[in-house]
A and B are shown apart, each in its own frame.
Chain A
């Protein structure tokens, strides 16, 4: 977690967009990942972006990558109660190295 940093908490109203930010350290990371962990469950791969891309869209998810600033973000459009979870950013630094996770709470 020291190499990948995320804000710890995000509260968002149902129907609004959520934006989760992450900074990483290894500019040679080939892929950057977002994982989702629901309560009592393991980590589920949500999406990933190849390092030569700036943006990737996958239904309600949009990943933005700023390689110069080593900044990664995940936007969830039309956030639903089922999106309440912990979201982990990870860089491929040899093996996967994770941030501390952002707990997203969706309120009605």
Chain B
């Protein structure tokens, strides 16, 4: 049973396309996150949702739109993909909002824009 699952694992697409990455957690956690890991392995938070409500929206282009239909799902839609969007995107969840509870991460989606 995968606790935090992301699909797809790999995504190769052309510039200008629109794509979505899905994330689901079966841990009963209230809070979910999207992180971006660049080619230098640097991890930066993009969004945080608590019980379907947006809590954190870091400086991310508005081409990125998260959607949380329920607290077990947090999807990431990206419009007009650019070369610089190539990265590994990680979904994570935690029991409650805040960093004191530890995060459980998905295995990542490697996005390559060509």
Q: Contact residues of A with B, CB < 8 Å?
A: 1, 30-31, 33, 35, 37, 40-45, 48, 86, 88, 90-98, 100-101, 103
B98 touches A92 (CB 8 A): yes
Q: Provide the main secondary structure of the chain A interface.
A: strand
Q: Contact residues of B with A, CB < 8 Å?
A: 4, 33, 40-45, 48, 56, 90, 92, 98-100, 102-108
With A41-B108, A42-B105 in contact, do A95 and B45 touch (Cβ < 8 Å)? yes
A48 to B41, CA, bound (A): 21
Considering only CB atoms, which chain A residue lies closest to B31 in the complex? A95
With A41-B107, A42-B105, A42-B108 in contact, do A1 and B99 touch (Cβ < 8 Å)? no
B98 touches A94 (CB 8 A): yes
Nearest chain A CB to B6 CB, angstrom units: 8
With A33-B102, A42-B105, A88-B43 in contact, do A95 and B90 touch (Cβ < 8 Å)? no
| Neighbour of B102 across the interface among A40, A45, A91, A94, CB < 8 A | A45
B40 touches A100 (CB 8 A): yes
Considering only CB atoms, which chain A residue lies closest to B104 in the complex? A45
Residues of A within 8 A of B4 (CB): 42
With A41-B108, A95-B56 in contact, do A100 and B42 touch (Cβ < 8 Å)? yes
Considering only CB atoms, which chain B residue lies closest to A35 in the complex? B105
